[in-house]
Amino acid sequence: MSDLPRRISGLVLLLVALALPLVMSDFWLQTGLFVMATAIGAVGLTLLVGVAGQLSLGHAAFAAIGAYVFAWSTGESTTSVSGLGLPPVLGLVLAAVVSAGVGAAFSPIAGRLRGIYLGLATLGLVFVVRHLLVNLDQWTGGFVGRSVEPFAVLGFSFSNRDPDYLAIAGVEFSGLHRLWYLFLLLAVVAIWLASNLRAGRTGRAWANVRDSETAAAAMGIGVAGAKRSAFVVSSAYAGVAGAMLALAYGRVAPDVFSLTASVDFLVMIVLGGLGSVAGAVVGAVFVTSLPLVLAQYSSALPFLAAPGSGGLDPSTAARIVYGLAIIAVLVFLRGGLAGAARRLRARLRPTPAVGQPAVAAPSRSKETTR
């Protein structure tokens, strides 16, 4: 099939993403940062769970490792916490590498377990890492966490300083704007890499291992190696996502990487449609932004009771709507949001090209590997 319409819509979306900061308020910028950071994590997880078939409930643990490695390697030593003071670019690379390394170290364990067994073993990882984060307070700052140095390249800082004032087309570019473009670049690269990986030789090997380890072995695929590489790649993605979360918060604390965070990653990829890179991105948009947007705007809904009056107040309603939305997608949409979009596109096929529904990610390519 032709990739042209998809590529064009991807390009349009990219241009929109580039232009958005010019018109958005801080609320939407901050939401966007969280969305892009979690999207990268979700893409990594969908490679592991959706493509390679290894269930992981421990993604937040790897994200935590990335976040803390970044914070520690780029931070300065103070009286309470130590730091290396490395350049942030190096810190970001280290975050990915160390997370990947831990992933590699964990993969022999992962290799012994399958499916839900593996999922629950990785659940344990979240608690173990959390325990370490709270107790190794010389490096992590303990329960309260530590602050994170702003990202900077060659003296240009992605914060409100250096340069203190920067405007593009008459719009002041604060730290949030600058981070937006950094995150967008990282997200595009990560999505592009993941799509290629998934469509390429490695991705096909992973999918074969997922479908049948025996058959994959018979075809000459090293099963253990394929599993390990999926774990390593996914952990590296989580590490980068963690470092980005650290930047988006401006600090790291163990609470950010709780079990809920792990589970949220899983919700993203299942809602989006397992194995689909674009689906993971859409799922991240949904899971990350919906609670934020509901929290911000639910008080505008007229039929809800005032907080404290005992009736159904906006915040409770928002939380329930979030839960119901998850249920509705899973009950009504086969293959998650990506599956629904695929069917919608198939139905719209006779009238091709530009006017088709927005399908999120830029390089949504080759999802025929199944």
Query: Where in 164-203 is the site for other proteins (CB under 8 A)?
Result: 164-170, 176
Selected from 47, 191, 194, 266, the binder of other proteins by CB under 8 A is 266
User: Does residue 312 interact with other proteins by CB under 8 A?
Assistant: yes
Q: How far is the CB of 26 from other proteins (least distance, A)?
A: 4
Six token digits for residue 200: 């390429």
Q: Do residues 21 and 180 lie in contact, with contact meaning Cβ atoms separated by under 8 Å?
A: yes
Those residues whose C-beta lies under 8 Å from the C-beta of residue 153, and which sit 6 or more positions away, are 88, 89
For residues 97 and 89, what is the distance between their CA atoms, to the nearest angstrom? Answer: 12
Give the single-character DSSP code of 50. Answer: I
Q: Do residues 245 and 34 lie in contact, with contact meaning Cβ atoms separated by under 8 Å?
A: yes
Selected from 127, 138, 343, 352, the binder of other proteins by CB under 8 A is 127
User: Does residue 288 interact with other proteins by CB under 8 A?
Assistant: yes
Residue type present at position 239 = G
Selected from 1, 78, 105, 124, the binder of other proteins by CB under 8 A is 124
Selected from 160, 196, 356, 369, the binder of other proteins by CB under 8 A is 160
Residue 352, preceding peptide bond in cis (omega within 30° of 0): no
Nearest CB to other proteins, comparing residues 90 and 168: 168
Nearest CB to other proteins, comparing residues 107 and 288: 288
User: Does residue 330 interact with other proteins by CB under 8 A?
Assistant: yes
Selected from 90, 105, 116, 344, the binder of other proteins by CB under 8 A is 116
Nearest CB to other proteins, comparing residues 251 and 345: 251
Report angle CA 120, 125, 129 to the nearest 5 degrees: 155
Q: How far is the CB of 336 from other proteins (least distance, A)?
A: 8
Residues 156, 94, 249, 18, CA torsion sign: positive
Q: Do residues 304 and 311 lie in contact, with contact meaning Cβ atoms separated by under 8 Å?
A: yes
Nearest CB to other proteins, comparing residues 86 and 263: 263
Nearest CB to other proteins, comparing residues 114 and 345: 114
User: Does residue 315 interact with other proteins by CB under 8 A?
Assistant: yes
Rg of the chain taking only CA atoms, in angstroms: 21
Q: How far is the CB of 130 from other proteins (least distance, A)?
A: 8
Region from 200-208, 219-227, 330-338, 349-357 binding other proteins, contact rule CB under 8 A: 330-338
Q: Do residues 151 and 237 lie in contact, with contact meaning Cβ atoms separated by under 8 Å?
A: no
User: Does residue 270 interact with other proteins by CB under 8 A?
Assistant: yes
User: Does residue 27 interact with other proteins by CB under 8 A?
Assistant: yes
Region from 81-89, 160-168, 236-244, 353-361 binding other proteins, contact rule CB under 8 A: 160-168
Burial of 147 (0-12, 13-18, 19+ CB in 10 A): middle
Interactions with other proteins, residue window 49-108 (CB under 8 A): 49, 55
Selected from 138, 143, 219, 349, the binder of other proteins by CB under 8 A is 143
Q: How far is the CB of 144 from other proteins (least distance, A)?
A: 5
For residues 203 and 267, what is the distance between their CA atoms, to the nearest angstrom? Answer: 22
Nearest CB to other proteins, comparing residues 94 and 230: 230
Nearest CB to other proteins, comparing residues 101 and 119: 119
Closest Cα to residue 182, out of 235, 238, 246? 246
Interactions with other proteins, residue window 203-222 (CB under 8 A): 212-215
Closest Cα to residue 267, out of 255, 279, 253? 279
Nearest CB to other proteins, comparing residues 49 and 64: 49
CA-to-CA dists, residue 220 to 223, 231, 326, 355, angstroms: 9, 20, 40, 44
